[in-house]
Amino acid sequence: MGDFKNELSIDSVLIHGGIDGDETTGAVSVPVYQTSTYKQDGLGKDRGWEYSRTGNPTRAALEKLIADLEQGSYGLAFASGLAAINTVLSLFKSGDKLVVSDNIYGGTFRILDNVFNNFGITYEIVDTSDLAAVEAAITDEVKAVYVESPANPLLTVTDIEAVAKITKKTGKLLIVDNTFLTPYLQRPLTLGADIVIHSGTKYLGGHSDTISGFVVVDDKALADRLYYLQNAIGGVLAPWDSFLVIRGIKTLGVRMDRHVENAKKIAEWLAASNYVSKVYYPGLKSDPGYETQKKQADGPGAMISFVLDQKYDHRKFFESLHLVTLAESLGGVESLVCHPASMTHAAIPKDVREKVGIVDELIRLSVGIENAEDLIKDLEQAIKASAR
Ligand SMILES: *Cc1c(COP(=O)(O)O)cnc(C)c1O
């Protein structure tokens, strides 16, 4: 960004960050450069673009934008969050080990357990909110700590700055999946993380219409290696999808404000009710992650998990909802509810799942930007309808 842009607050960077419009025509929106290749003027004389797996102007505008938002120097866009994770995990080699948060996105667990494990890259699951446990897990073969905060689906908060102190001291990489909060609420690179990962499918796109993923780093050598892997592995984001995510990001600030406002109301309502035996939400003062969350982020996000009281049948609850939709995914404008044990986290063996608290009665709610009272009314009628 130009110098004056460095002074802008994130509300303005969302709209004017990255490449702002089209320099050639003045088009206010970055055009969709729907092309696979580019004319070269002679051997070795390209105009900065060679082939769209390697680079595409629409994708490049988005990559610059996500880097600006995360306050990193380099951004990379992928066809999905998992394509981004695949590329980051490809930094490691046989014999390397990762220390991983104990409740993470199920697909992240799956790719570690059933793909990279086959290549001799191992992992150890640790409660990363417990700093002593993180420190104890660091051995020679450990090359990185992989954290989700708040984690999926129990919203466990890890003190990113404190873990970064441990990884810096021991020469390991700190990787943070920032999907649940987005750079609008949390910027892990500024807290000492080395690599930030996103599923852009969620809040960044924001409209449940596009699958995408991101990686952002600040270190040049690390960026060069990641760009190499991005091109070598090839899981890049298409031009049209890049356009859609740029469009989504423009309204991220106003959406997140409403998401969080609604989530706070719903979490407080749930916690004060007799309907649930537990509410997980780092925006509640009673939540163990509340203070750390407040210290390291600009808001608690809009993901809430809760355990329905035994008086209610969770299967019936899902079937009784009218406004809130039962579906995988999160972070869209519409409220979505899911059953982690059988949906997002089904890839995790039952004993591992239950040990960390992902019980069968656990319900995960992605609070949308509808009217909060309408959402509460719908949740309440569905809970009442599910009484045993
Ligand atoms: C959805 C999600 C992913 C995977 O992203 P896809 O875009 O579905 O591939 C990774 N991490 C978190 C926290 C997610 O919610």
- Residue 344: give its domain's CATH number: 3.90.1150.10
Does residue 317's CB lie within 6 angstroms of at least one atom of ligand 1?
Answer: no
* 199 Cα: distance to centroid of ligand 1 (angstroms): 4
Task: Name the pTM for this structure.
Answer: 0.97
Residues 144 and 283 reside in one and the same domain: no
- Whether 6 has a pLDDT exceeding 80, the answer reads no
- Residue 239: give its domain's CATH number: 3.40.640.10
Does residue 86's CB lie within 6 angstroms of at least one atom of ligand 1?
Answer: no
* 272 Cα: distance to centroid of ligand 1 (angstroms): 31
Q: Write out pLDDT tens, residues 22-31.
A: 988 999 999 9
- Whether 235 has a pLDDT exceeding 70, the answer reads yes
pLDDT at 344: 85
Mean pLDDT across the stretch 11-25? 93
Mean pLDDT across the chain, nearest whole number? 96
Mean pLDDT across the stretch 270-282? 97
Residue that finishes a domain, picked among 249, 282, 307: 249
Residues 81 and 156 reside in one and the same domain: yes
Residue 29 CB partners (closer than 8 Å, separation 6+): 21, 22, 243, 246, 247
Mean pLDDT across the stretch 325-341? 96
pLDDT at 1: 46
Does residue 105's CB lie within 6 angstroms of at least one atom of ligand 1?
Answer: yes
Atom 6 of ligand 1, nearest CA residue: 81
* Active-site amino acid positions: 53, 105, 177, 202
Residues 278 and 243 reside in one and the same domain: no
- Whether 110 has a pLDDT exceeding 60, the answer reads yes
How many structural domains comprise the chain?
A: 2
Mean pLDDT across the stretch 151-157? 94
Q: Write out pLDDT tens, residues 240-255.
A: 999 999 999 999 999 9
Residues 237 and 303 reside in one and the same domain: no
Residues 206 and 289 reside in one and the same domain: no
Domain range for 286 is 253-385
Residue that finishes a domain, picked among 214, 249, 284: 249
pLDDT at 192: 98
- Whether 298 has a pLDDT exceeding 80, the answer reads yes
Residue that finishes a domain, picked among 249, 277, 311: 249
Mutational test site, ligand 1, from 202, 241, 343, max ligand atoms within 8 Å of CB: 202
Does residue 202's CB lie within 6 angstroms of at least one atom of ligand 1?
Answer: yes
pLDDT at 3: 62
- Whether 2 has a pLDDT exceeding 80, the answer reads no
